[in-house]
A and B are shown apart, each in its own frame.
Chain A
Amino acid sequence: MTGKPARLVQRSKNKGIQIILKYARMLSIKDLKVSINGKEILKGINLEVRTGEVHAIMGPNGTGKSTLASVIAGRDVFDVTGGGVLFEGKDLLELPVEQRACEGIFLGFQYPVEIPGVSIINFMRTAINEQRKYKGLDPIPAPEFLARMDAAKKMLEMQTSLTNRSVNEGFSGGEKKKNEIFQMAMLEPRLAILDETDSGLDIDALRIVANGVNKLRNQNNAFVVITHYQRLLDYIVPDFVHVLFDGKIVKSGGKELALELEEKGYDWIRKNL
């Protein structure tokens, strides 16, 4: 990786000693090969994500972007035929889906599903408490839960009544995507993978969603943003951009790579393979 200092240096006020904190390695994908029904989709992905980083993964349709997101989250319609994924030192592929979530992995779905009769409030309280249980914590106190919910709704300019509605039921495309970011804000994940969160959003919603992501960015978490378009990256400025093409990351660079892609199109990548 380039473009980011690998070390963070802090000076202790009292003792005058330098404390060196490494940017912690969070997600480490090594030569990951994945197929579905015998067809290889990911053909050896390598990716390192450290805390505090935002990675953008770009590429044309059908190159394996969503597959990568799904495999990290744990969808098991895929066969992992080679390589591995470490998350904070743990073999991620050995963990069931819900444990990955409890370890701090969040997937913002491209097509969020409807769950009739289950209110967003109930859904979120259940999810938060399950994650807390996993960490050996008591259920979230009601005032804390409500405060967190109010803050998240405010940040995303969501209607108050929306959280009383059933999860995604009858939501517009934009509302569904906002709801994904809302859930991310509620669950406070370590690593958020946003799968084409920008698709189906008008420019105002895009700005609100991106703003939410920016507010949630900090030195302890990381984001992998999957997108077709440069547009989103005007708002969520990535540290790294990767181009996924035919199951492989064929080019990596800083944020300027996205601009170059926008200008030259994916044909430029194709020709340079």
Chain B
Amino acid sequence: MANDQQNILEEVTRQDYKYGFYTDLEMDVFPKGLNEDVIRALSAKKNEPEFMLEFRLDAYRKWLTMKEPSWAHLNYPAIDYQDIIYYAAPKKKPELESLDQVDPELIDTFNKLGISLEEQKRLSGVAVDAVIDSVSVKTTFSDTLAKHGIIFCSFSEAVQKHPDLIRKYLASVVPVEDNFFAALNSAVFSDGSFCYIPKGVRCPLELSTYFRINAANTGQFERTLIVAEEGSYVSYMEGCTAPMRDENQLHAAVVEIIALKDAEVKYSTVQNWYPGNKKGEGGVYNFVTKRGICKGNNAKISWTQVETGSAITWKYPSVILMGDNSIGEFYSVAVTNHYQQADTGTKMIHLGKNTRSTIISKGISAGQSNNSYRGLVKIIKRATNSRNFTQCDSLLLGDKCGAHTFPYIHNENASSIVEHEATTSKISEDQLFYCLQRGIDTENAIALIVNGYAKEVLKHLPMEFAVEAQKLLAVSLEGSVG
């Protein structure tokens, strides 16, 4: 049986990526390579104020002095940063009021992805800021949001219309020199999303951004900034699929969240970028810095992520618990298959008193992939009575994949408690046989068992996302046993 199961596993995990297609939009593209002139041109192209150009140049100069990190449990060929195009935008940058004005080919792309703006507008009540390559093409529901004083727009637009907010909060959570990829992003980011929730406002919609990497050899450097004023609430969703490409695509995004006193931000991600083919060729390199700060007392930031894509994932959505009684949460399902590598986890930095953090990480490895959890829990001396609970589970499908756990715990405070639980398991033949005997085929049985395993995390996703995430898990794995 073991052999047969292994064969089934290998067969089904060899499935090709289902979202591999390429949109032929007219592009406005810079030549390859990076220098100060490119940055100046980029900034000029976007008609940015002086402070933004200075910000970028400062970041670029810092980046030049930095080294790519090598501590992660990842193995990939050296990236030639001069072989990357740092700006690509659809040529017709329309200011549109209705979908009729959108390039039909773009609509078609969305339809293939099952995220038609039209449908979303009508049915789900989800505001969408759709990003294709580097420039926001279409923002919907802005009017509804405007009524509540909520700002939800592309980053470029925010730079033009709300320079004071950008100036105040940009790089306030992730400093320019935080790490190599954050510095690179700060220098060259082309666009992204900006979200501002005024004091006391509960955002009536789930805010959603669909990212999509499109042009060959184009680095994607998205920048997201979310500011939740005192007593406000917002749930933000980010989801991605990418077309199949042969070349490796670098992606280095930065997401910053600021939650002031009594504010709550829920950030959910479903990430399904092209993971490379079954031989491990191609695929997206995803080096992301995501960090939130609970700046005021009783603030709460919650990260929920379902990671199934990318050839390389380097990502640690973190929370700095600065305000007293603030709460940080991290719920993660990371799936790796074929030759995918993921080094992902979180950092919970407890600075305030009575701060609490919860980490639930579920890693699922199949094929010949490597899946690592890396997490830091730090409680400083003044953060009395703080608590952390970490649960870190790994599920192995097959016998050629790897699961690793690297927990770092620094507790400088005797009144605080840190708990860490970790398990590693396999789908048992008994479980599989039980499902098969009820008439459920191997693929569906695996999907069922894996979804059950990931349930603790999936239940934290907004409804619209949970369904998509479940399907994604099924598509990404579709088979195995230990």
Interface residues of A (CB under 8 A from B): 73-77, 96-98, 100-102, 106-107, 109, 112-118, 122-123, 126-127, 130-131, 134, 166, 183, 187
Contact = CB atoms under 8 A, between A and B. Distances in A.
A117 B440 contact: no
Interface stretch (B74-82, B161-169, B308-316, B428-436): B428-436
B444 A115 contact: no
Given A76-B1, A77-B1, A126-B444, A117 B454 contact: yes
Report, nearest first, the 9 A-B pairs whose CB atoms are least far apart. Answer: A117-B452, A118-B452, A117-B455, A101-B439, A127-B438, A97-B436, A131-B439, A113-B430, A102-B439
A77 B112 CA distance: 43
A101 B436 contact: yes
A117 B437 contact: no
Contacts of B444: 126, 130
A117 B451 contact: yes
A101 B435 CA distance: 10
A98 B440 contact: yes
Contacts of B455: 117-118
B452 A130 contact: no
Contacts of A134: 439
A74 B436 contact: yes
A77 B429 CA distance: 10
Interface residues of B, number: 24
Given A97-B436, A101-B437, A134-B439, 9 more contacts: A100-B437, A115-B449, A117-B452, A117-B454, A123-B448, A127-B438, A127-B440, A130-B441, A187-B438
Nearest to A99: B439
B440 A75 contact: no
A237 to B, nearest CB: 26
B433 A97 contact: yes
Contact of B439 (A118, A127, A166): A127
Contact of A130 (B439, B449, B453): B439
B419 interface: no
Nearest to B429: A77
A122 B433 CA distance: 17
Nearest to B458: A117
7 contacts: A97-B436, A113-B430, A117-B456, A118-B451, A127-B435, A127-B439, A166-B452
Contacts of B449: 115, 118
A117 B452 CA distance: 4
Interface in B55-90: none
Nearest to B455: A117
B97 interface: no
Contacts of A101: 436-439
B4 interface: yes
Contact of A113 (B1, B428, B448, B456): B428
A75 B433 contact: yes
Contacts of B440: 98, 126-127, 130
A130 B453 CA distance: 21
Contacts of B1: 75-77
